[in-house]
Amino acid sequence: MKKILAGLILIVLLLSAAVAFLVVYKDGELVRKAFSWLEKRQRFNRRFEEAVQGVAYCQWLVGESYAYGSYVSQNHKEAVRWFRYSAEQGNRDGQLLLAKCLLDGRGVVKNEVEALMWLNLVASASAGQYSGEEDREFRDSIAAKLSPGDIKAAQDLALNWRKKSWAELKEF
């Protein structure tokens, strides 16, 4: 009887130790995940500070964070605002995502002409290893749905944007 009781006590102790180990491991995993999230949130905060200072790449990243709800509450209007800041500085990714928001009416009033303007700029800015073929195909698929007058208006907007950005660059 004493052996059975001792065996039961040993089993209970082993099970308790196993459960305690699992809880510590689980909590340790939760702590690692919490630190990982905190580290990413701190990275977002640094990028946000740089975005406020006018760094176009960071403005695009902040816009993406708002668009997808990464480390901030999802807010499409805020995403569009940051995409626009980035796009106005000539950031290709900001221009592309702003165009997509304008096409879908996500966070902004749907405006296919302005979207085509940004897509024209994206397609014309392709350089280096990135050929831009996909950008041109996407732009052309949108243009195919618009009237010739809307296409002309978008081209004029893009040309005026280019002239304005070159004038600002010359002043620099």
Neighbouring residues of 77: CB distance < 8 A, sequence distance ≥ 6: 107, 108
The model's pLDDT over 116-150, given as tens digits with 9 standing for 90+, comes to: 999 999 988 765 546 678 888 999 999 999 999 99
What pTM did the predictor assign?
Answer: 0.76
**Domains in the chain with CATH codes:** 38-160 (1.25.40.10)
Q: Could you tell me how far CA 119 lies from the centroid of its own chain?
A: 18
CA nearest to 62, candidates 121, 171, 49: 49
Helices (H) and strands (E) in the chain, counts: 7, 0
User: How far apart are alpha carbons 152 and 34 in whole angstroms?
Assistant: 52
- Averaged pLDDT, 30-35: 63
**Measured torsion, CA atoms of residues 115, 120, 125, 127, in degrees rounded to the nearest 10:** 110
pLDDT band (50, 70, 90) for residue 18? low
Does the pLDDT at position 57 exceed 60?
Answer: yes
User: How far apart are alpha carbons 71 and 172 in whole angstroms?
Assistant: 36
> 47 and 58 in contact (C-beta within 8 Å)?
yes
